[in-house]
């Protein structure tokens, strides 16, 4: 199925909050900090209607022991799935529609900063967010959009913006 994007839905925030509560409850006494990331976390832009969550844990090996808990919530346990230092989980309905993605890193991973920086930068810079949304629209227009073309088409924008976002994010941090 070709990729598709939809206008921002304010209920995505509520969907994130509900899923975060379910994950936290399922993992029991193991602490995981959860953040809403990805385009569904950025008001006003087009997004695939899939809730992206980022989890931060102190130990991935400990998280690996919780695979059954994640499966009980309907997640597929995907391991690193191409990114060292990550654990990736995806939730797909019985009809085959992906509804959630969870990317988990250990505290201190550089992936945490880049995800939060990109999200916060687009929230704080509506013109950049609008450019990103317009790019997504153009990549999904036409007769034969493909997932590969969509992802490849976003990559240059993300790479450039991510550098600016991380620099901006660091400048926003309070001095210790």
Domain of 81: which CATH number?
3.30.460.10
Tell me which residue range forms the domain holding 89: 11-172
CA distance 37 to 53: 6
Q: What is the mean pLDDT of residues 49-54?
A: 97
Instruction: Report yes or no on 106 lying in a domain.
Output: yes
Q: Decide: 54 and 35 in contact? Cβ < 8 Å.
A: yes
| 171 Cβ neighbours under 8 A, 6+ residues apart | none
Instruction: Report yes or no on 44 lying in a domain.
Output: yes
CA distance 101 to 99: 7
**C-alpha closest to that of 108 among 167, 53, 33:** 33
Q: Decide: 17 and 34 in contact? Cβ < 8 Å.
A: no
pLDDT tens per residue across span 79-135: 999 999 999 999 999 999 999 999 999 999 999 999 999 999 999 999 999 999 999
Instruction: Report yes or no on 5 lying in a domain.
Output: no
pTM greater than 0.85 (yes/no): yes
pLDDT tens per residue across span 163-175: 999 999 999 976 6
pLDDT tens per residue across span 2-35: 458 999 999 999 999 999 999 999 997 778 999 9
In this prediction, residue 75 carries a pLDDT of 98
Instruction: Report yes or no on 4 lying in a domain.
Output: no
In this prediction, residue 105 carries a pLDDT of 98
What are all long-range contacts of 88-92, with beta carbons under 8 Å and residues at least 24 apart? none
């Amino acid at each position: 199925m070709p990729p598709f994007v939809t206008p921002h839905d304010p209920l995505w925030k509520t969907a994130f909050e509900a899923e975060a509560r379910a994950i936290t409850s399922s993992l029991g006494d193991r602490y995981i900090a959860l953040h809403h990331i990805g385009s569904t976390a950025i008001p006003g832009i087009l997004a695939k209607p899939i809730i992206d969550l980022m989890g931060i844990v102190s130990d991935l090996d400990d998280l690996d022991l919780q695979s059954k808990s994640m499966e009980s919530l309907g997640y597929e346990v995907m391991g690193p799935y191409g990114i060292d230092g990550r654990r990736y989980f995806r939730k797909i309905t019985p009809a085959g529609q992906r509804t959630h993605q969870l990317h988990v890193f250990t505290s201190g991973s550089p992936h945490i900063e880049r995800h939060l920086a990109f999200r916060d930068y687009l929230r704080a810079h509506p013109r950049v967010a609008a450019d990103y949304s317009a790019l997504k629209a153009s990549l999904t227009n036409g007769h034969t959009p493909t997932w590969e073309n969509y992802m490849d088409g976003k990559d240059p924008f993300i790479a450039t913006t991510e550098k600016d976002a991380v620099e901006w994010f660091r400048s926003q941090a309070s001095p210790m």
